[in-house]
A and B are shown apart, each in its own frame.
Chain A
Amino acid sequence: MLDILQNINYTPFILSFKLAGLTTLILFILALPLSWYLSQTHSKIKPVLEAITALPIVLPPSVLGFYILYTLSYNSSIGAFFHEYFGIDLVFNFHSLVIASCFYSLPFMVQPLQSGFESINKNMLEASYISGKSKIVTILKVAIPNIKPALLTAIIVTFSHTVGEFGVVLMVGGSIPGETKVASVAIYEMVEIMDYSSAHIYSGLMLIMSFLTLLSVYIFNHKQKFSGFIK
């Protein structure tokens, strides 16, 4: 058993986690202001923005992948611009996977954060404004620390969702070993060439890791609810 585990090529896993880590970090920075805005605004464009952010949940990954592929390829002005001025190709490499994942996982970051911000007692925020604190200080010192369970849920779910993505990655990145061949794609290829034992090991590892991450989120959130003392 140990032998088998030692002989596995872990590159696809490392790639999956690198991709998920980067995507989560970028999305966290982008989604914080967006979800705060969505939680506070009464503007008429709010439902429009909400619908756009939620689109990746309903769209088939192939549709999303197709549009991203089309937008980033040389045929589009964006793809051409990056190729021309920065010498960067935006398709079939790791960059493209990060961009595609950011779109694909956006709702999983925005929605928990937004509902977290919405659940905060409005008077608490107003108490901070009245104390003379700016919006930024209020967000950093009052709003964010009071939605810890939502923050953790957003980060973990985004991370896990990105690790688990398949369709978009395949469309935009293909399956280049060490570059775009992430764990989910690797498993698909193993099954295709009927290498079931490797597929079993890869899938089993994915299953265990996913379960453990989710379990730790639920344990943390449960503890948060019943914790009394601030250290």
Chain B
Amino acid sequence: MIKIQIHKNLHGINKDTDLDVNIEIKSGEFLAISGKSGSGKTTLLRILAGLEKAKGKIEVNGEIWLDEKNSLIPQKRGIGFVFQDYALFENMSVLQNLLFVKKDINLASHLLQITELSALKNRSTKTLSGGQKQRVSLCRAMMNRPKLLLLDEPLSALDSEMRAKLQTEILSLHKEFKTTTIMVSHDPSEIYKLSSRVLILDNGKIIKDGTAKKVLLKTSGSQKFSFSGELLEIKKVDVIFIAIVSIGQQLVEVVINESEAKCLKIGQTVNLSTKAFSPSISY
């Protein structure tokens, strides 16, 4: 059980906000944190790692990491951290990166095998691709069998194919090691696939807390489909109006009536929903 009750002043670009987080995380849970940039997600991870100061209390399996008087140094917390930019030790080979954490050649070989890196173990980390670097970073974080694994947008720099592959690897590592994991992510499908619980942070406060299904599914009432997207353009074609909306990586055209066209503003975030009963899926 991890109890987190922290408070910190965040110096944002536009305004100062307060990070106020009060949560309990069960052992073995996979928690995802999502929210706009500047909402305090990374800061929260860094506080948990002991890399940044904060007021409050952190208790992990009965061990006090932070209270009014003391803050346990990062070296003694026994965590794994995967940085957004990988942060591999560039002077070492893949295998050396892992062994630097702990001289456990069996575990290192096992991790490299799971992540299909065995063939690259003697390569300099400078020559690896983004996906390979991220895997090394993940393996390195697992080397001291952490009590808590922190992932800071671990897959954000990768293409969708590589993402899907690494998501599976993260999931199998989580199942095997049963490490309590906290991951910052923006990708709903990633969160849905990996996490058992989602927090949404906004301006330093938790505004939603629940299962991925409950927090992320945007449909409500009788709607069958609902997507949120950005309104890019409204075109008038003969007597009808067509709105072009960007949803995820795709653009869609929707017919709207004149009064709707007058209310909507370009750049606005809009919800697109349908009540059709049997939509077809094709690929």
B5 close to A (CB within 8 Å)? no
Instruction: Please determine whether B80 and A124 come into contact, CB atoms closer than 8 angstroms.
Output: no
Residue-wise interface mask of B (73-90) relative to A, using a CB-CB cutoff of 8 A (1 in contact, 0 not) = 111111111010101111
A187 to B242, CA, bound (A): 86
Instruction: Please determine whether A131 and B144 come into contact, CB atoms closer than 8 angstroms.
Output: yes
A58 close to B (CB within 8 Å)? no
Contacts of B122 in A (CB 8 A): 229-230
Instruction: Please determine whether B89 and A132 come into contact, CB atoms closer than 8 angstroms.
Output: no
Instruction: Please determine whether B51 and A126 come into contact, CB atoms closer than 8 angstroms.
Output: yes
Instruction: Please determine whether B100 and A134 come into contact, CB atoms closer than 8 angstroms.
Output: no
Contact of A230 among B80, B81, B92, B140 (CB under 8 A): B92
B93 close to A (CB within 8 Å)? yes
A227 to B126, CA, bound (A): 9
- Of listed B75, B77, B102, residue having the most chain A CB within 10 A: B75
B180 to chain A, nearest CB (A): 16
Instruction: Please determine whether B124 and A229 come into contact, CB atoms closer than 8 angstroms.
Output: yes
B91 close to A (CB within 8 Å)? yes
Instruction: Please determine whether B124 and A142 come into contact, CB atoms closer than 8 angstroms.
Output: no
Known A-B contacts A132-B75, A132-B144, A230-B92; the reply to A127 vs B81 at CB < 8 A is: yes
Instruction: Please determine whether B81 and A126 come into contact, CB atoms closer than 8 angstroms.
Output: yes
Contacts of A129 in B (CB 8 A): 51, 73-75
Tally of contacts, chain A with chain B, CB under 8 A:
73
A223 close to B (CB within 8 Å)? no
Contacts of A230 in B (CB 8 A): 91-93, 96, 122-124
A11 close to B (CB within 8 Å)? no
A121 close to B (CB within 8 Å)? yes
B101 close to A (CB within 8 Å)? yes
Contact sample, A vs B, 8 pairs, CB 8 Å cutoff = A124-B87, A124-B90, A131-B143, A132-B75, A141-B100, A228-B126, A229-B122, A229-B127
Residues on A lying within 8 angstroms of B by beta carbon are 121, 123-124, 126-134, 141-142, 145-146, 148, 227-230
What 10 pairs between A and B have smallest CB-CB spacing? A123-B87, A145-B91, A131-B101, A228-B127, A123-B83, A230-B124, A129-B74, A127-B87, A124-B87, A230-B93
